[in-house]
Amino acid sequence: MSRPLIEITSVAKSFAAGGAGRERTLALDHVSLSIAEGEFVCLLGPSGCGKSTILNLVAGFEAADSGNVRFDGAQVRGPGPERGVVFQQPMLFPWLNVIDNITFGPRLAGVSPDVYGPQAERYLRLVGLQGFGQHAPYQLSGGMRQRVALARAWLPKPKALLMDEPFGALDAQTRLVMQELLTSVWESTGTTLLFVTHDVDEAIALADRVLVMSARPGRICEEWTIPFERPRKLEDIVADPRFGELKRDVLKVVRHEARAAAALETSL
Ligand SMILES: Nc1ncnc2c1ncn2[C@@H]1O[C@H](COP(=O)(O)OP(=O)(O)OP(=O)(O)O)[C@@H](O)[C@H]1O
Ligand SMILES: [Mg+2]
C-alpha cells in the first residue's frame, strides 16, 4: 500500500448548539482515518453523524478541537488547491458560461490563459462536455451541471478530491452515468477520492474501501475492502454474489447506526 495522503488521528470536533445555555454538540469523537495516495474511499453513515464535518476538516474549512489532521505529511491549516471539493449542488456562477466557470479559480490566481485554456479543454473532454464551453448553466441538465463542477474541481490537478454526496440530487439513470464517468476520470488521473454517500450500492460499486460511521458523536465503526477488480463494469458487479453479501453486511451496520441516530434525535 502506498503512503497515506490523508491522515486523521484521534480527532474531536464540537459545535455551539443552538439556544442559550445549551451544551455544545459533539459531532466527532476519537475519529482516526488514513487514506492512501490514489485510493478511492467511500464514507457512509446516518444523517448528522459527522461525514461533512470530516470533509470540512480535511478541506481546511474547519479546525479540529483536538487531534490531528494531516495532508501529504503536513498539518492542515486552511483550504488549499491540492484539496478540491465537490458538493451535492454544483454551485456554478449562473452569469458565467461553462468555460468561465471551470477556469474561475486559475483566472483569479492570475494563471495564464495559455496554461489553463488547454487544461479546461482536456477536462471538458474528460467529463464529456466538449462543445458546451460557451453554454450558460441554465442551458444544461442537472447531470451536466455536476459534470462542470467535476471539471472545475479537477482542473487545478488536486491531489485529493473531497466529494460530499455529489450525485445525491441526480436521478437514478444520471447517477449511473456519473458514477461511470467519475470512475474513468479517477482511473486516468489517479487522484485520491474521499466520497460521502448515503447509497450503499454506490459505495460498494465505486470504492476500494467503504467506511461506515456511527451515530453522533461519529466514529468510524466498520470498514470493508472491496474485492472487485478494475476496470469495473457496474452491471457485472451487481451480478457478482459477493456484491449481495457485502451489501447485506454494510446495510446491517448502516441501519443499526441509523436507528441509533433516530433514537438520539427523538431524545433531544
Ligand atoms: N457549523 C455548524 N454549527 C453547528 N452545528 C453543526 C455545524 N456543522 C455541523 N454541525 C452539527 O454536527 C453534526 C454533524 O454534522 P454533519 O453535517 O457533519 O453531518 P453529516 O453526517 O454530513 O449529515 P448529513 O448526512 O445529513 O449530511 C450534526 O449534529 C450537525 O448539526
Ligand atoms: Mg453532510
Residue 94 scores a pLDDT above 80: yes
| Pairwise CA distance, residues 61 & 53, whole Å | 9
Q: Kindly state the average pLDDT of the residues 56-77.
A: 98
At the top level of CATH, the class of 38-63+73-82+158-267 is alpha beta
Mean of the per-residue pLDDT values for the chain? Answer: 94
Q: Kindly state the average pLDDT of the residues 221-231.
A: 96
What pTM does this model have? 0.95
- Please state at what angle helix 172-189 crosses helix 113-126, rounded to 10 degrees: 130
What is the DSSP-derived secondary structure letter of residue 240? S
**For the CA of 27, the nearest ligand:** 1
Q: 104-116 pLDDT, tens per residue?
A: 999 999 999 999 9
Query: For cell 471551470, what's the residue?
Result: 102
CA of 44 to the centre of ligand 1 (A): 14
- 196 close to 56: Cβ distance less than 8 angstroms: no
Mutate to test the pocket of ligand 1, among 14, 24, 25 (most ligand atoms within 8 A of CB): 25
Ligand 1 pocket, residue 89 CB under 6 Å: no
CA of 101 to the centre of ligand 2 (A): 24
Residue 125 scores a pLDDT above 80: yes
Strands of 160-164's sheet in order across? 83-86, 160-164, 192-196, 40-44, 209-213, 220-225
| Pairwise CA distance, residues 84 & 106, whole Å | 13
Q: Kindly state the average pLDDT of the residues 189-217.
A: 96
Nearest CA to ligand 1 atom 6: 15
Would residue 129 be called left, alpha or beta, if left means φ above 0 and alpha means ψ between -120 and 50 degrees? alpha
Nearest CA to ligand 1 atom 24: 47
CB count within 10 Å of CB 109 equals 10
- 120 close to 132: Cβ distance less than 8 angstroms: no
Q: Kindly state the average pLDDT of the residues 55-81.
A: 97
Residue 258: phi and psi, rounded to 5, are: -65, -40
Q: What percent of the chain has pLDDT over 90?
A: 89
| Pairwise CA distance, residues 92 & 261, whole Å | 33
Ligand 1 pocket, residue 48 CB under 6 Å: yes
Between 17-31, 32-46, 86-100, 129-143, the lowest mean confidence (pLDDT) is in 17-31
CB-facing half-sphere around the CA of 248: CA atoms within 13 A: 5
Task: For residue 239, give the nearest of 211, 205, 189, 210 by alpha carbon.
Answer: 205
Cell of 256: 443499526
Ligand 1 pocket, residue 56 CB under 6 Å: no
Using DSSP's 3-state secondary structure scheme, residue 239 falls into: helix
| Pairwise CA distance, residues 42 & 207, whole Å | 6
Residue 1 scores a pLDDT above 70: no
- 224 close to 210: Cβ distance less than 8 angstroms: yes
CATH 3.40.50.300 residue spans of the chain: 38-63+73-82+158-267
For residue 53, the model assigns a pLDDT of 97
For residue 21, the model assigns a pLDDT of 65
CA of 18 to the centre of ligand 1 (A): 12
Task: For residue 36, give the nearest of 185, 135, 128, 159 by alpha carbon.
Answer: 159
